[in-house]
């Protein structure tokens, strides 16, 4: 599986000379884009800009887009920076070497893609796009089934062991209900203050943070335990009529974003995200297979009663077990004898 991502770094500790040169390339690119044909910009940087920036707005500045074969990255053995990133400029023959600090390490075997030099509030940043191969995990031990639930937005159950064997079932909760708490608090603030927009932005950032945390925690857990992840496809859940209030809550939880982040983080770790048809997962008993009823967050069949979201998560996990190859220790032992 190929993973691509953007490594973001800050250009640090520039000498005055280098700062001037970088600034000149940047400012001249802006002039060129605004119609000054004679502005002195490295030719490939001009071509990149022409390729990527279709419409040029007068009140906007555009990053220097650097072609992937013209960027050169070297590790830097100093406290000041992590890498030296060389980019071509019209001012300096052979390119300008920028000291860059990043949060993420750039491995030697990663492929470097198109990159951008950005100026924000007087500082320069570089966004380097990279891609690399991830080996799929070959000895999966089970499935982590997720019900995008009604009361608790993300209910997860780990099923360890393959299809046919009897999987061990365990609820593993990553507290995504933190998101709903924030959403209701901000809904209150928005209603009761005049600065609605400000609250909305602040809510968005907080929700985004938690989504990142929750999906990272799930991905780490599944990496450690070698579990594939199963979620229901969203179509089903959004169309079920669960009453107006519930529907509103359901639609507000960013399920799409959640899935998108989770899929990416699993891919980075070589784990699959399996989407299963969610039909009847909420009405079927995960223990006996009988049809039952949900009522106020509980599921009931003729023989038992349990949390409805838990029941849904187990059903989703079980449906996925038949779709992936699980090399559980049980079944491995069985084939040897
Ligand atoms: Zn039952």
In whole angstroms, give the CA distance from residue 303 to residue 313.
19
Same domain, 156 and 58: no
C-alpha 287 to ligand 1 mean position (Å): 5
Same domain, 166 and 102: no
Domain boundary among 100, 133, 166: 133
C-alpha 305 to ligand 1 mean position (Å): 8
Domain of residue 266 covers: 142-336
Considering only CA atoms, which of 13, 6, 2 is closest in space to residue 83? 13
Same domain, 193 and 314: yes
User: Domain tally for the chain?
Assistant: 2
C-alpha 336 to ligand 1 mean position (Å): 34
C-alpha 306 to ligand 1 mean position (Å): 9
C-alpha 291 to ligand 1 mean position (Å): 8
Same domain, 237 and 254: yes
Residue 335's pLDDT is what? 35
pLDDT tens digits for range 47-98: 999 888 888 888 899 999 999 999 999 998 888 899 999 999 999 999 999 9
Same domain, 156 and 284: yes
Name the residue with higher pLDDT: 7 or 333. 7
Task: Say if residue 157's pLDDT is above 60.
Answer: yes
264 within 8 A of 271, measured Cβ to Cβ = no
Same domain, 197 and 105: no
C-alpha 330 to ligand 1 mean position (Å): 26
Residue 78's pLDDT is what? 81
Same domain, 238 and 284: yes
C-alpha 245 to ligand 1 mean position (Å): 28
pLDDT tens digits for range 101-150: 998 899 988 999 999 999 999 999 999 999 999 999 989 999 999 988 76
Tell me what the mean pLDDT of segment 235-264 comes to: 69
Question: Residue 75: CB partners within 8 Å, gap ≥ 6?
Answer: 82, 83, 84
Name the residue with higher pLDDT: 85 or 166. 85
C-alpha 234 to ligand 1 mean position (Å): 25
Locate the DSSP E strands across the chain: 2-11, 64-66, 72-75, 83-87, 96-102, 111-120, 123-133, 142-147, 155-160, 168-171, 227-232, 273-276, 293-295, 298-300, 305-307
C-alpha 150 to ligand 1 mean position (Å): 21
C-alpha 311 to ligand 1 mean position (Å): 10
Same domain, 21 and 45: yes
Residue 246's pLDDT is what? 56
What CATH number does residue 224 fall under? 3.30.420
C-alpha 247 to ligand 1 mean position (Å): 27
C-alpha 145 to ligand 1 mean position (Å): 19
Exposed/middle/buried for residue 139 (C-beta within 10 Å: 0-12, 13-18, 19+) = exposed
User: Hunting for tokens 């949060």 — which residue is that?
Assistant: 103
Same domain, 320 and 272: yes
Same domain, 159 and 228: yes
Residue 285's pLDDT is what? 95
Tell me what the mean pLDDT of segment 184-208 comes to: 79
C-alpha 318 to ligand 1 mean position (Å): 15
Any idea how long the chain is?
A: 337
Longest dimension (CA), the chain: 82
Considering only CA atoms, which of 253, 78, 115 is closest in space to residue 177? 253
C-alpha 299 to ligand 1 mean position (Å): 9
C-alpha 301 to ligand 1 mean position (Å): 5
Question: Which pTM does this prediction carry?
Answer: 0.78
Alpha helix stretches (DSSP H) within 34-132:
43-52
Domain boundary among 77, 107, 133: 133
Q: What is the mean pLDDT of the chain?
A: 86
Task: Say if residue 244's pLDDT is above 90.
Answer: no
C-alpha 159 to ligand 1 mean position (Å): 18
C-alpha 284 to ligand 1 mean position (Å): 8
Residue 316's pLDDT is what? 93
Structure tokens at 135: 């080996």
Other CB atoms within 10 Å distance of the CB of residue 120: 9
Domain boundary among 108, 133, 158: 133
């Amino acid at each position: 599986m190929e993973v691509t991502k953007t490594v973001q770094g800050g250009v640090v500790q520039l000498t005055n000379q280098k700062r001037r040169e970088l600034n000149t390339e940047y400012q001249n690119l802006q002039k060129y884009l605004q119609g000054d044909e004679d502005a002195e910009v490295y030719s490939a940087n001009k071509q990149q800009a022409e390729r990527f920036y279709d419409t040029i707005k007068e009140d906007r500045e555009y990053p220097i887009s650097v072609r992937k074969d013209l960027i050169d990255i070297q590790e830097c053995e100093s406290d000041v920076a992590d890498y030296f990133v060389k980019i071509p400029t019209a001012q300096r023959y052979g390119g300008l070497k920028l000291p860059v600090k990043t949060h993420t390490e750039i491995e030697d075997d990663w492929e470097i893609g198109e990159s951008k030099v950005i100026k924000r509030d007087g500082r320069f940043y570089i966004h380097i796009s990279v891609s690399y191969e991830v080996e799929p995990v070959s000895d999966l031990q089970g499935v982590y089934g997720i019900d995008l639930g009604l009361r608790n937005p993300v209910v997860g159950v780990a099923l360890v062991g393959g299809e046919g064997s009897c999987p061990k079932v365990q609820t593993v909760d990553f507290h995504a209900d933190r998101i709903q708490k924030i959403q209701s608090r901000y809904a209150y603030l928005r209603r009761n203050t005049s600065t609605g927009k400000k609250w909305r932005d602040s809510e968005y950032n907080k929700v985004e943070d938690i989504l990142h945390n929750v999906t990272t925690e799930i991905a780490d857990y599944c990496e450690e335990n070698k579990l594939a992840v199963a979620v229901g496809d969203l179509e089903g859940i959004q169309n079920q009529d669960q009453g107006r209030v519930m529907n509103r809550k359901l639609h507000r939880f960013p399920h799409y974003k959640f899935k998108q982040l989770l899929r990416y983080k699993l891919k980075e770790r070589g784990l699959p995200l399996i989407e299963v048809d969610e039909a009847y997962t909420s009405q079927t008993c995960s223990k006996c297979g009988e049809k039952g009823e949900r009522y106020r967050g509980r599921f009931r069949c003729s023989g038992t009663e349990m949390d409805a979201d838990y029941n849904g998560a187990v059903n989703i996990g079980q449906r996925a077990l038949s779709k992936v190859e699980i090399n559980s220790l049980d079944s491995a032992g069985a084939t040897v004898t």
